[in-house]
Chain A
Amino acid sequence: MASSTAACDTGPGPEAMASLSRHWAEAPTLRNWFATVDHKRIGRRYLVTAGVFFGLAGASAVALRTQLAGPEAGILSAWEYNQLFTMHGTAMIFLFSTPMLFGFGNFLVPLMIGARDMAFPRLNAFGYWVFLFAGLFMWASVPAGAAPDGGWFAYVPLTDERNSPGLHLDVYTLGLLFLGVSTTAGAINFIVTALKLRAPGMSLNRVPIFVWAVVATSFMVLFALPVLNLDNVLLFLDRRFDTRFFDPGRGGNVLLWQHLFWIFGHPDVYIIVMPALGIVSAVLPVFCRRGIVGYPLIVFSIVAIAIISFGVWVHHMFATGLPQLSYGFFSAASTIITIPSGLQIFAWLATMLTGRIVVRVPFLFVVGFLVTFVVGGVTGVMFALTAFDQQITDTYFVVAHFHYVLFGGAVFPILAGLYYWLPKLTGRMAGERLGRWAFGLVFVGMNLTFLPMHVSGLLGMPRRVYTYPGGLGWDPWNLLATVGAYVLAVGLLLVVAGVIHALRRGEPAPDDPWGGDSLEWATSSPPKPYNFPVIPRVHSLHPVWDPRTAESTGLGADGDRILAEGRGTLLTSELDGRYERAVRMPQETLKPLVAALGLLIVFLGLLLAGYWVAAAGAALVVVTLGAWLWPPRQTPEEADPAVGGGAV
């Protein structure tokens, strides 16, 4: 790309570059805004949409904390409180954490592995639209006064038809089923992309840890999410069509809900945290100016956690009267899973210890993560002990614990990633001073909010109460937590202000502002629609720090990695990343949007008991999918998915 006079076989010449731009650029029309299949645009949309849902769920939390600031407050009624705390939890788990990290994955995975898009770009667009519609579907229930009100894990029998009449829980079951379509599609897309679209030479031992984390997460999604989906189907059938799965009077069993929920639910904790840990492994070494310590051990931990996480679910059910033997088994499994988690922590500490630390805003958020996540981890080990668990189950101690894990383990890394990749996402640098203020307020606010909850929990304050009597020793801790919540909110608003400021008047970002080691830093900020003019040939785990990889994209790059004729990218072998063949990528299309709208009609029809409407929506989905996959008339040469041999 450096030379403009190069002949066609020595790096992309001006003709090849023009051809790449012509084939990949999406004309800036309104239609293309809806029809785009560019993973970078879709990834940014995921981030923004998930950020908006985070804001809504965060505002709900501020309302809850205001209500709980003092005893016997009357700002929210019990009815409103139940809906808000349920939407807070449900949205943070399902509509913020996973989609936010999928947004990072969407934007970064193809860039990090040196590909030009995801393996299934149209499915990717479909996944985004489904996520958006499912999120709106659920949030629209709040102004309608029909929001879910059974807590984010919606235990039966509290949530059956008799105890929870109305649409509240139907919004919950259908909304999560709707969203599940998006998450499953995204997970399949990530795995196939990471297995097949890596740049030549990127064997499995050269895959960035963030990509490993996204792939492991996706495998967990594929095997955990179906169980939640089944659970929600059964509850919906019980509520709407009087089946008897959870009805003890007719032979059903309420504990089935909890088993199925937590078989999904505990892996889901890692589904949320794992990609965030991947962000830490991507950000931290860059600010320690060295490669990450113990790459194979970290990859091993990721895979081990992904597997063991399916064997610990009963520790959420230690107070339900299951056989003692099962407690013993699940207690042991829950203790064992701390070992791979600890391995990662020590690998990061060793990276810092042996590196030369450069303190910038992303690094600060990583440090915030390390401190809070370890606190959450310590209280987590306490829950693995059945006797202790039974004492504090359903108290604020639990609330404190999982906020340290999820805020510490997911939000801090997400913010670190936001500041770290903002130059790549937007082409602008975020201001350092504002970022430091934001970090300070978020860190102080977060600890001020959640540390006192340990105490009020140990003093016996149950979770999910909309108010409490004074004089039980809980008052000061609750007031502190509320003050903390406001500080935290200000800190997060400063983050938003920083992003907006960067977009408006931030300095233009260089291609590689931090001196990073993975391939996203080898291309422009923000990247061109085709990501890389030449798909690199990867020679090490740190391709950008490795001169041979850098050379592979400059003079002498062979046309097989330029693919200037049409939208093309490379398939390589799953394990070794050997060159297999070029494939043609699809053009922008409206069909994913139409299919997602069809699904929206299905779910609205089911919710409002218009089953013929739902059937019509299903027909729309089927017809759209049929047309989507319909082979256009092509000559046999075109039908063979081969792109010409490069810039000829």
Chain B
Amino acid sequence: MTPDGIRTAFGPAGLTTEEPVGRSTAWWGVTLFVATEGTVFAALLGSYFYLRFQHGAPWPPDGIARPELLLPLIMTAVLVPSSLPVVWAESGIRRGRRWQLRAGLLATLAMGGTFLGLQGVEYHGLLREFTVTTNVYGSLFYVITTFHGAHVTVGLLMVCWLLAASLHDGSGARRREQVRVVAYYWHFVDAVWVAVLFTVYLSPRL
């Protein structure tokens, strides 16, 4: 090795190019994005309570029954644990095991897809009772749940994209970064569901 080459290899860049160090720009980007998205949900759920308490009892109004809990709890049981295969997939790609990444993502895809299917089943039953135009309760119920469902859909699109990319090539730092970004978004979508569950399904029973 030439002296120049040695100096390069032992310079700061040479020593730190093996593994990315520090928080990456992608980490900050997705964290801030999730923060602003979380604010949308906070404002939406805040509006739910504002409208509910300005409306007063009875809630739900106009003789609409309180929401059934069985189906939403099943949906919770499907969606919230779907973060685990993402974590497993992420640890797989860190060790360079692409099969583990694919298997984990496929599991997430299946669970997320099941959640959306169950939401369709729920709508199918409820739409006969009330719709988005019936009253403010109907508007809140459908807009909040649809808005969350749209986020699940976006998350699933991201997972599909990762699956397609994982069939294509490599497992370098860039790929690990992308998996991490999708994982953060997916955890966010899961966590928000818990807040939606509490607001839309549980709070009318309190």
Could you say which of A119, A244, A626, A636 contacts B29, with CB atoms under 8 Å apart? A119
Evaluate contact between A9 and B39: CB separation under 8 angstroms: no
Interface size bracket, B side = 35 or more
Evaluate contact between A244 and B39: CB separation under 8 angstroms: no
Knowing A192-B28, A250-B135, say if A256 contacts B51 (CB, 8 Å): yes
**Measured CA separation A203–B33 after assembly (Å):** 25
From 85 to 109 in chain A, residues with beta carbon under 8 angstroms from any chain B beta carbon are: none
**Measured CA separation A416–B185 after assembly (Å):** 42
A641 within 8 Å of B by Cβ?
Answer: yes
B138 within 8 Å of A by Cβ?
Answer: yes
Could you say which of A222, A245, A579, A626 contacts B12, with CB atoms under 8 Å apart? A579
**A236-253 interface mask toward B, CB cutoff 8 Å, 1 = contact, 0 = none?**
010001111101001111
Q: Give 22 pairs: A residue, B residue, CB < 8 Å, sorted on A.
A: A184-B36, A197-B25, A222-B32, A222-B35, A226-B36, A244-B135, A244-B139, A252-B51, A256-B47, A559-B11, A571-B22, A581-B12, A582-B17, A629-B178, A631-B169, A631-B170, A636-B172, A639-B175, A640-B173, A640-B174, A644-B13, A645-B9
**Measured CA separation A284–B20 after assembly (Å):** 40
**Measured CA separation A353–B33 after assembly (Å):** 43
Q: How many Å from the CB of A586 to the closest CB on chain B?
A: 12
Q: Which residues of B contact A400 (CB under 8 A)?
A: none
**Measured CA separation A641–B195 after assembly (Å):** 38
Q: How many Å from the CB of A326 to the closest CB on chain B?
A: 13
Instruction: Name B's interface SS.
Output: helix
Could you say which of B50, B134, B137 contacts A259, with CB atoms under 8 Å apart? B50
**Measured CA separation A259–B53 after assembly (Å):** 15
Q: Which residues of B contact A196 (CB under 8 A)?
A: 23-25, 28
Q: Which residues of B contact A140 (CB under 8 A)?
A: none
- A626's nearest neighbour on chain B, judged by CB, is B161
Q: Which residues of A contact B7 (CB under 8 A)?
A: 9
A646 within 8 Å of B by Cβ?
Answer: yes
Q: Interface residues, chain B, CB within 8 Å of chain A?
A: 4-5, 7-9, 11-14, 16-17, 20-25, 28-29, 32-33, 35-37, 39-40, 43-44, 47, 50-51, 54-55, 61-62, 132-140, 143, 157, 161, 165, 168-170, 172-175, 178
A191 within 8 Å of B by Cβ?
Answer: yes
Could you say which of B14, B22, B143, B174 contacts A631, with CB atoms under 8 Å apart? B174
Q: Interface residues, chain A, CB within 8 Å of chain B?
A: 8-9, 119-120, 184, 187-188, 191-192, 195-197, 222-223, 225-227, 229-230, 234, 237, 241-245, 247, 250-253, 255-256, 259-260, 263, 558-560, 571, 573-574, 579-583, 622, 626, 629-631, 633-634, 636, 639-646, 648
Could you say which of A225, A253, A643 contacts B55, with CB atoms under 8 Å apart? A253
**Measured CA separation A247–B137 after assembly (Å):** 12
Could you say which of A191, A252, A581 contacts B20, with CB atoms under 8 Å apart? A581
Evaluate contact between A226 and B39: CB separation under 8 angstroms: yes
**Measured CA separation A227–B38 after assembly (Å):** 11
- B51's nearest neighbour on chain A, judged by CB, is A253
Evaluate contact between B13 and A244: CB separation under 8 angstroms: no
Evaluate contact between A558 and B51: CB separation under 8 angstroms: no
Could you say which of A9, A192, A255 contacts B25, with CB atoms under 8 Å apart? A192
Could you say which of A197, A255, A559 contacts B8, with CB atoms under 8 Å apart? A559
Q: Which residues of B contact A245 (CB under 8 A)?
A: 47, 51, 136, 139-140
Q: Which residues of A contact B33 (CB under 8 A)?
A: 188
Evaluate contact between B14 and A250: CB separation under 8 angstroms: no
**Measured CA separation A243–B137 after assembly (Å):** 10
Evaluate contact between B39 and A256: CB separation under 8 angstroms: no
Could you say which of A223, A571, A644 contacts B39, with CB atoms under 8 Å apart? A223
Evaluate contact between A646 and B8: CB separation under 8 angstroms: yes
Evaluate contact between A641 and B174: CB separation under 8 angstroms: yes
Evaluate contact between B43 and A120: CB separation under 8 angstroms: no
Could you say which of A227, A251, A582 contacts B137, with CB atoms under 8 Å apart? A251
Could you say which of A192, A243, A630 contacts B133, with CB atoms under 8 Å apart? A243
Evaluate contact between A583 and B25: CB separation under 8 angstroms: yes
Knowing A188-B33, A244-B139, say if A263 contacts B165 (CB, 8 Å): no
Q: Which residues of A contact B39 (CB under 8 A)?
A: 222-223, 226-227
Q: Which residues of B contact A230 (CB under 8 A)?
A: 40, 43-44, 47
Evaluate contact between B143 and A636: CB separation under 8 angstroms: no
Evaluate contact between A195 and B28: CB separation under 8 angstroms: yes
Evaluate contact between B8 and A648: CB separation under 8 angstroms: yes
Evaluate contact between A234 and B135: CB separation under 8 angstroms: no
Evaluate contact between A119 and B43: CB separation under 8 angstroms: no
Evaluate contact between B172 and A639: CB separation under 8 angstroms: yes
- B37's nearest neighbour on chain A, judged by CB, is A226
Could you say which of A120, A247, A583 contacts B136, with CB atoms under 8 Å apart? A247
Q: Which residues of A contact B23 (CB under 8 A)?
A: 196, 574
Evaluate contact between B40 and A646: CB separation under 8 angstroms: no
Q: Which residues of A contact B139 (CB under 8 A)?
A: 237, 243-245, 252
Q: Which residues of B contact A184 (CB under 8 A)?
A: 36
Q: Which residues of B contact A226 (CB under 8 A)?
A: 36-37, 39-40, 43
Could you say which of B9, B12, B29, B133 contacts A188, with CB atoms under 8 Å apart? B29
**Measured CA separation A306–B142 after assembly (Å):** 34
Knowing A227-B43, A245-B139, say if A629 contacts B16 (CB, 8 Å): no
Q: How many Å from the CB of B166 to the closest CB on chain A?
A: 10
Evaluate contact between A263 and B43: CB separation under 8 angstroms: yes
Evaluate contact between A256 and B50: CB separation under 8 angstroms: yes
Evaluate contact between A192 and B35: CB separation under 8 angstroms: no
Evaluate contact between A639 and B11: CB separation under 8 angstroms: no
Q: Which residues of B contact A640 (CB under 8 A)?
A: 17, 172-174
Evaluate contact between A192 and B61: CB separation under 8 angstroms: no
- A238's nearest neighbour on chain B, judged by CB, is B139
**Measured CA separation A385–B45 after assembly (Å):** 31
Evaluate contact between A191 and B28: CB separation under 8 angstroms: yes
Q: How many Å from the CB of A233 to the closest CB on chain B?
A: 8
Knowing A230-B44, A244-B133, A571-B25, say if A641 contacts B173 (CB, 8 Å): yes
Knowing A237-B143, A631-B170, say if A251 contacts B12 (CB, 8 Å): no
- B36's nearest neighbour on chain A, judged by CB, is A222
**Measured CA separation A197–B25 after assembly (Å):** 9
**Measured CA separation A187–B29 after assembly (Å):** 10
Q: Which residues of B contact A583 (CB under 8 A)?
A: 25
- B21's nearest neighbour on chain A, judged by CB, is A580
Evaluate contact between B132 and A631: CB separation under 8 angstroms: no
**Measured CA separation A580–B28 after assembly (Å):** 15
**Measured CA separation A639–B96 after assembly (Å):** 14
Evaluate contact between A244 and B138: CB separation under 8 angstroms: yes
Could you say which of B21, B47, B134 contacts A581, with CB atoms under 8 Å apart? B21
Q: Which residues of A contact B14 (CB under 8 A)?
A: 645
Q: How many Å from the CB of A191 to the closest CB on chain B?
A: 6
Counting from the closest, the 8 A-B pairs by CB-CB distance are: A639-B172, A642-B17, A645-B8, A251-B136, A243-B139, A226-B40, A226-B39, A222-B36
**Measured CA separation A558–B4 after assembly (Å):** 12
Knowing A225-B36, A252-B51, A252-B136, say if A629 contacts B13 (CB, 8 Å): no
Evaluate contact between A250 and B21: CB separation under 8 angstroms: no
Q: How many Å from the CB of A144 to the closest CB on chain B?
A: 29
Q: Which residues of A contact B169 (CB under 8 A)?
A: 631, 633-634
Q: Which residues of B contact A260 (CB under 8 A)?
A: 43, 47
Knowing A222-B32, A244-B139, A583-B25, say if A634 contacts B47 (CB, 8 Å): no
- A249's nearest neighbour on chain B, judged by CB, is B135
Q: Which residues of A contact B25 (CB under 8 A)?
A: 119-120, 192, 196-197, 571, 583
